[in-house]
């Protein structure tokens, strides 16, 4: 018998060298906690949740952009609803989501927080199989 059967698996892919972003620590923690909470909420017990952090130049600033992604193997979001989930009070009721409580404000607030820090919060998904939420933030200049 597999002791991990039915257990959500968490993985993280972090850069070898620290990456510094321009962000309010408290707001960034709120965003990450909300995204992780949603991943747990909308994934089956045997699902996977992955967090990764990377950076790259966006071609518009010498410092580049930091990407923080939270992905899961949950119920996903229909393509036509990817922007709608960021609207206040919107909740999709399908599968696992129908069993969850909430006001539908989490993603709306988190996107506003990311944008207030000069970044953004975006989603991509395959309905029924996965969702990835990506926070982008300006990278702190390397001096």
Q: What is the pLDDT of residues 49-67, one digit of tens each?
A: 999 999 876 565 556 899 9
Dihedral sign from CA coordinates of 40, 71, 81, 115: positive
Q: How far apart are alpha carbons 133 and 135 in whole angstroms?
A: 7
Residue 88: pLDDT over 90: no
At residue 7 the predicted structure's pLDDT band, cuts being 50, 70 and 90, is confident
Residue 143: pLDDT over 80: no
Is the domain covering 18-138 a CATH 3.30.565.10 domain? yes
Domain ranges of the chain: 18-138
Helix ranges (H only) for the chain are 25-41, 106-116
At residue 105 the predicted structure's pLDDT band, cuts being 50, 70 and 90, is confident
Read off the tokens for 108: 């709306």
Kindly state the percentage of the chain with pLDDT values over 70: 81
């Amino acid at each position: 018998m597999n002791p991990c059967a039915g257990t959500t698996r968490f993985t993280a892919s972090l850069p070898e060298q620290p990456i510094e972003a321009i962000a309010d620590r408290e707001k960034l923690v709120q965003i990450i906690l909300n995204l992780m909470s949603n991943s747990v909420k909308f994934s089956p017990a045997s699902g996977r949740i992955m967090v990764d952090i990377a950076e790259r130049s966006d071609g518009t600033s010498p410092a580049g952009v930091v990407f923080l992604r939270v992905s899961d193997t949950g119920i996903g979001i229909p393509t036509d609803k990817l922007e709608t989930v960021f609207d206040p009070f919107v909740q999709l009721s399908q599968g696992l989501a129908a069993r969850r409580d909430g006001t539908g404000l989490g993603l709306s607030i988190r996107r506003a927080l990311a944008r207030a820090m000069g970044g953004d919060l975006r989603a991509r998904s395959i309905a029924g199989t996965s969702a990835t939420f990506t926070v982008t933030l300006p990278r702190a200049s390397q001096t």
